[in-house]
Amino acid sequence: MIPGLPDDIDQIKGFLAEDEAQALYQHALQLSTLGPVLEIGSYCGKSTIYLGLACRTNNSTVFALDHHRGSEEHQLGEFFHDPALYDAGEGVMDTFREFRSNIRRTGLDEVVVPVVAGSEAAAKHWQTPLAMVFIDGGHSMEAALTDYRCWTTHLMRGGVLAIHDLFEDAHEGGQAPYAIYRMARASGLFEDLGQVNSLGLLRRL
């Protein structure tokens, strides 16, 4: 049982399986003693809550990076589109309101620092070493490569890179996360910590 986890965590909109959430929490619990955690792709804050509760234990921080305009699959007419998260006036997705509400009612306002921007723009002047990077942003090849190139350089030695939505079989899901996972493994820069469901874990050597 994770202290502070909302009873209705299953009701929070998101794309994270229970075993993956537990793995994120356990790694963040260890690593946040070394430095802050950054996630790319917060959506409504489900993964952020698990990372945030771990960081709160160690008085650390989660940088929750998301432009909150949704990925390709969330857009109007796409398979994972949620009309409740669509701003019809502006004609755009807007998950930030829901995200803030979920973070506030979990009591994580002082732990979670939202970075409301695109991944590349946010990385441009980034200098803070990170103890853990969780990649769960855009799933196009371009987006995944950008996330990998922009953020793994900031991972401290001993830090952990977690990549979500790894599917070996293209029929099960998009291949971009798996491509950057293979790239990381082939780089010689990481120790392979294995997979939990579709979550890959690698430790920076």
Ligand X SMILES: C[S@@+](CC[C@H](N)C(=O)[O-])C[C@H]1O[C@@H](n2cnc3c(N)ncnc32)[C@H](O)[C@@H]1O
* 102 within 8 A of 159, measured Cβ to Cβ: no
Contact between 69 and ligand X by CB under 6 A: the answer reads yes
Q: How far apart are CA 101 and CA 178, in angstroms?
A: 32
* 75 within 8 A of 95, measured Cβ to Cβ: no
Determine the interface stretch with ligand X among 82-90, 135-143, 155-163, 173-181 (rule: CB under 6 A): 135-143
Contact between 200 and ligand X by CB under 6 A: the answer reads no
Amino acid at the residue 117: A
CB of residue 157 to ligand X, shortest distance in Å: 25
Q: How far apart are CA 162 and CA 20, in angstroms?
A: 10
Determine the interface stretch with ligand X among 59-67, 103-111, 151-159, 186-194 (rule: CB under 6 A): 59-67
CB of residue 196 to ligand X, shortest distance in Å: 14
Q: How far apart are CA 156 and CA 154, in angstroms?
A: 6
The binding track of 7-46 with respect to ligand X, each residue x by CB under 6 A or -, is -------xxx------------------------xxx--x
